[in-house]
Structure 1
């Protein structure tokens, strides 16, 4: 399969896309291709199997429905994004917590800017795929919120006068970043997303120093 999506970067997918490779991997990648081309609502199982170059029977041997295949593809993509953020932060080990936070944000923005098909899936099409997809979307936002928590935990080690925001507050930060990214992509500015890095870093730092400081003291790592 040529011109692969972000999902193909997952170790369970990318190494199994050869013609005689995993049919499940080919279907997951085919789902992203079909949704990127037509949108979730208009994409059909026939579109997915055509992109994957397998039979309809093969599809239903692997997945009970279009929704199940989509959710699998979505989760693989989110796993890749989270791992890219982690890897970028690990590579920034010598910087302070703000530098690592900035690096993580830039990794997220650069990944979306460089992967327009999965960006569409993650930012827009997931909302069209039903309540289970909505729950998967919430789980993804909480995974990104956990990355902020890790950055803020490092901040508390450097600046113990600060306080860890609650999990719900971190979710609000994650969702707010997401909404700004959505607005920029709707405006046709996908390739310019990395330019938001400094603004989002300032916002996240202000969030910790402002909103978090108003909370009662909780132990490090608490919510």
Structure 2
């Protein structure tokens, strides 16, 4: 976990507003469910496990969430936001896009963004396991939300590479699907070295696709031709 783990509430009377208390409890519960599920998996994790890890009372839990699934879905949203936040910080993006310098070589932009993506997964490993692995045990709504997140990543990749047609978008979808499989195996093994090692060969293969014009771009001419 990152250093941004939610702080515990002080004992006794608190000067915090009810809204702030709920925000802190929600944050603690989301972090706790991600951590416990990283160890035990979705099915074996109980509300009691989450309460023990978070230090939040059962009464407080049910004031914030309706069920374990409700808490999981909130944690999934936190995972999504953390991933995007880390990505923006690492590649110098802003609310207008991942990279402001559109004049740079698209493959250089892709390599920087993809390296940042892998580092973000490594930094937030419990949340990473939650949205890559445990999501499939949480049911149809969680899987639908996972698919929506994947579509967002496809859109980001398309914007990064300037994709303009359906064929290029399909190539983006293939790259994202392959990436998901490769990083999921490493995350399932808690192997951060293997996770980061996905980067260089995948970047090389994406560059090959780019040079072949598979993203709807013009192929790079062969100077020896």
TM over 0.5: yes
Tell me the secondary structure at the aligned position of residue 145 of structure 2.
Answer: helix
Report which of the two has the higher share of helix.
1
| Mapped pair 1:17 → 2:7 | yes
1:75 aligns with 77
Q: CA deviation at 1:66?
A: 0.6
| Mapped contact 2:87–2:116 kept (Cα < 8 A) | yes
Residues 34 and 17 (structure 1), Cα distance of their counterparts in 2 relative to 1, 3 Å cut: same
Match of 1:110 among 89, 95, 119: 119
Match of 1:149 among 155, 158, 165: 158
TM-score (norm: length of structure 1): 0.76
Residues 87 and 150 (structure 1), Cα distance of their counterparts in 2 relative to 1, 3 Å cut: farther
Residues 55 and 192 (structure 1), Cα distance of their counterparts in 2 relative to 1, 3 Å cut: same
1:10-49 CA-to-partner distances (Å, cap 9, x unmatched) read xxxx5x5332442212211121122122111100111111
Greater shift, 112-121 or 163-172, is seen at: 163-172
CA distance in 2, matches of 1:136, 1:86: 21
Q: Show the 5 A alignment for 1:154-165.
A: 165=167
Q: CA deviation at 1:61?
A: 1.0
Q: Show the 5 A alignment for 1:49-128.
A: 49-90=51-92, 93=101, 95-128=104-137
1:36-91 CA-to-partner distances (Å, cap 9, x unmatched) read 22111100111111111111111111111111110110111111112222333336
Q: CA deviation at 1:167?
A: 4.5
**CA RMSD in angstroms, aligned pairs only:** 2.8
Residues 163 and 135 (structure 1), Cα distance of their counterparts in 2 relative to 1, 3 Å cut: closer
Residues 42 and 29 (structure 1), Cα distance of their counterparts in 2 relative to 1, 3 Å cut: same
After the TM superposition, list the runs of 4 or more consecutive aligned residues in structure 1 that deviate by more than 3 angstroms.
91-95, 162-169, 184-189, 205-214
TM-score (norm: length of structure 2): 0.75
Q: CA deviation at 1:185?
A: 3.6
Whose Rg is larger? 2
How many residues end up aligned between the 2 structures? 198
CA distance in 2, matches of 1:187, 1:28: 22
